[in-house]
Structure 1
Amino acid sequence: MRDLSVELQWELTASRFEEWLKNELFHFKWWILLCVFILSVVIWWKCIDKSRLSELVLCAGIVCIFVLVLDELGEELALWEYPVKIFPLFPPISAIDLASLPFLYSLIYQYFGTWKSYAIASAVMSVLSCFVMEPLFILSGIYQLITWKTYYGMPLYFAIAISTKWIMVRLKKMEAKAG
Structure 2
Amino acid sequence: MEIKPIQDSKKLNEVGKFFEKTAEINKNYFEYWKENTLFHWDFWLSWGFAIIPWVLWARYHDKKMRGQLLLAGFIALIISSWFDFNGVVFGLWYYTGLAIPTIPSYVPWDFCLLPILIMMLIQVKPKLSVYWKALIFTIVSTVGELIFIWLGFYRTVHWNILYSVPIYFVLFLVSERVGRIAKHR
User: If the TM-score is normalised by the length of the shorter chain, which range does it land in?
Assistant: 0.7 to 0.9
Q: Which runs of 5+ in 2 are unaligned?
A: 1-12
User: Per-residue displacement from partner, 1:100-158 (whole Å, max 9, x unpaired)?
Assistant: 111110111222434x522202201211221x211111111011111212222111111
User: RMSD of the alignment, in Å?
Assistant: 2.0
Q: Separation in 1 of the partners of 2:169 and 2:16?
A: 42
Counterpart for residue 103 of structure 1? 116
Instruction: After TM superposition, give the deviation of residue 9 of structure 1 in Å.
Output: 3.5
**Aligned AA (2:161):** T
Q: What TM-score, normalized by structure 1, do the two folds share?
A: 0.85
* Residues paired across the two proteins, number: 172
Counterpart for residue 135 of structure 1? 146
Moved runs in structure 1, 4+ residues, more than 4 A? none
* Helix, strand or coil at the partner of 1:113: coil
User: Per-residue displacement from partner, 1:20-67 (whole Å, max 9, x unpaired)?
Assistant: 101111122222211111221122112211233232212111100010
Counterpart for residue 66 of structure 1? 79
Matched, 1:124 2:160: no
Q: Separation in 1 of the partners of 2:49 and 2:77?
A: 16
Identity among equivalent positions (%) equals 26
Q: Separation in 1 of the partners of 2:134 and 2:16?
A: 47
Q: Tell me if the contact between 1:68 and 1:91 (Cα under 8 Å) persists in the aligned partners.
A: no
Report the structure, 1 or 2, having the larger helix content. 1
Determine which of 42, 46, 60 is the counterpart of 1:29. 42
Q: Tell me if the contact between 1:108 and 1:118 (Cα under 8 Å) persists in the aligned partners.
A: no
Matched, 1:81 2:94: yes
Q: Which runs of 5+ in 1 are unaligned?
A: none
Q: Separation in 2 of the partners of 1:109 and 1:34?
A: 25
**Aligned AA (1:86):** A
Instruction: After TM superposition, give the deviation of residue 172 of structure 1 in Å.
Output: 4.0
Counterpart for residue 149 of structure 1? 160
In our comparison, the structure showing a higher alpha carbon Rg is: 2
**Aligned AA (1:121):** K
